[in-house]
Amino acid sequence: MKTLTDHPGRYDLANELHARPSPALSAPGTAAYLAIKRPDNAANRDRDADRQHLIALLDRFGAPHPSPGSNHYFGEIGRYHLKWEQHNEFVSYTVFSDGISSRAFDPAAFDVFPDDWLADAPGARITSAHIRVQQMPGRETEMDEQVRDWFVSESIASTWVLDRAAMVAGDFRIDPAGHMRFVAFISEGTGKRRIGRIVQRLCEIETYKTMSMLGFPEARNIHRNLRNVDDELTHLVGAMKRGDEPAEATLSELLSISAELEELMASTSFRMGATRAYEAILNQRIGALREERFRGRQTLSEFMMRRYDPAMRTTKSAESQLEVMAARAARAGELLRTRVDVERAEQNQALLESMDARAKMQLRLQETVEGLSVVAISYYAVSLAGYLFYPLAGALGISKGTLTAALTLPVVCLVWLSVRRIRKSLGH
């Protein structure tokens, strides 16, 4: 019996949906999150270097290695659990441990990452987060007091999530140890998988917020460049209108501006596109938390609306302005090329008229030369005819002068007809 052949990628594609499950966490617990990114051309980095760096950490704890070519790993390293993931531009490490320190957000939670191992990382830290997971106290005021003690009050975002399964809070500020801080107060009865999803969402929100913000410096650079380009383009368009400069020189300058804009678009298109993608993921992750306001404080979405969205609008504005400027330069180039074509057509018309005038002059000169040629040829022909017919002058009783005069008109007519026939034959 014949069996249906599977597509070579069928199982890989199906397994990919289950390759990154949320961890199962208990409260109280701690998560230390680290994301590493190469400063330049991260999407085309050597991913084997990421895996080798992971293996170096696993060897410190005698943990098993990941499968060759894998993009994710989850396993025990000593008394911790490690989740490692490779993404398009960065690689992330999340270490989970049971229990919480008596000192809130003790930097010792990151001691699992040795200093010399961090120094050998194939990239730089793009973000890191310290997440404290603890049971929810009996009173909301107690949670509120702890949040005020741990975070900068002006920046606090705290909210109920997942139908009040937890209350999460953070201020999105880097603490003295170099980490972002978040706390998740877990309601009684919340399952381990749900706790794991909450922690994972917090890590993703922080990471995608940071990754999308990479487009903000690019946007400011675009705005700076476009201010100069706008001045140059405005000057050139004005020169086109006034006709101050030759069209060819203006066109050359305009092509230079267009090339500069195209280069700017090419160098920033990846970052701008990635910013849009990361922003969409961030908003989706926040939406998935199903926020409810906690004691009148701002939610995560409100924090992003006030602090994050203006930066995203700036990047979108820069991208849009760049496209508009490129289109404007293209339109100006088309107008200028049309003007150059018209001027060249006028020059060609004038050249043709000049050539026509010269041809007419040459024709008149040719006709004049032909007339002189008829006279010259006729002169010699009459002389030869006179010598031929002089013996007849005595017999006819006329003088040589009379005979010459009688021969002149017929000879001239014959010469003129002969020259005319030759010219017609050459014309054909």
Note the pLDDT tens digit of each residue in 253-295. 888 888 888 899 999 999 999 999 999 999 999 999 999 999 9
Residue 1: is its pLDDT beyond 60?
Answer: no
Determine, yes or no, domain membership for 356. Answer: no
User: What is the identity of the amino acid at 288?
Assistant: A
pLDDT in tens, 314-331: 999 999 999 998 888 888
Residue 81 lies in a domain: yes
Give all strands (DSSP E) within 265-381, no chain letters.
292-293
Distances (CA, A) of 269 to 42, 64, 170, 218, 316: 15, 40, 32, 10, 12
pLDDT digits (tens, 9 = 90+) for 141-175: 999 999 999 999 999 999 999 999 999 999 999 99
Q: Is residue 220 part of a domain?
A: yes
* 71 and 127 within one domain: yes
Of the candidates 258, 234, 236, 266, which has an alpha carbon nearest to the alpha carbon of residue 249? 236
Kindly provide the residue ranges of all beta strands, DSSP E only, lying in 242-334, ordered along the sequence: 292-293
Contact by Cβ (8 Å): 184, 199: yes
Residue 221 shares a structural domain with residue 77: no
Is the pLDDT at 393 greater than 70, yes or no?
A: no
From 350, 378, 401, give the residue that closes a domain.
Answer: 350
Whether the pLDDT of residue 333 is over 80: the answer is no
Residue with the larger pLDDT of the pair 281 and 370: 281
Give residue 354's pLDDT.
82
Question: Per the domain annotation, does 6 fall within a domain?
Answer: no
Same domain, residue pair 264 and 391: no
- 39 and 177 both lie in a single domain: yes
Q: Based on the domain organization, do 175 and 59 belong to the same domain?
A: yes
Q: Same structural domain for residues 401 and 339?
A: no
By 3-state DSSP, what share of the chain in percent is helix, strand and coil, each rounded to 5? 60, 15, 25
- Domain range holding 98? 19-197
On whether both 322 and 373 belong to a single domain, the answer is no
Q: How many domains does the chain have?
A: 3
| Same-domain pairing of 324 and 344 | yes
Asked if the peptide bond before residue 66 counts as cis, ω within 30 degrees of 0, the response is no
Same domain, yes or no: 320 and 400: no
Higher pLDDT, 377 or 372: 377
Judge whether 208 lies within some domain: no
Q: Specify if 8 maps to a domain.
A: no
Task: For residues 121 and 91, state if they share a domain.
Answer: yes
Checking if the pLDDT of 239 tops 80, the result is: no
Higher per-residue confidence, 183 vs 341: 183
CA angle 322, 323, 327 (to 5 degrees): 115
Mean pLDDT for the stretch of residues 300-306 = 96
The domain boundary residue, chosen from 197, 221, 243: 197
pLDDT above 70: residue 427? no
pLDDT tens per residue across span 195-224: 999 999 999 999 999 999 999 999 999 999
203 vs 242 pLDDT, higher one = 203
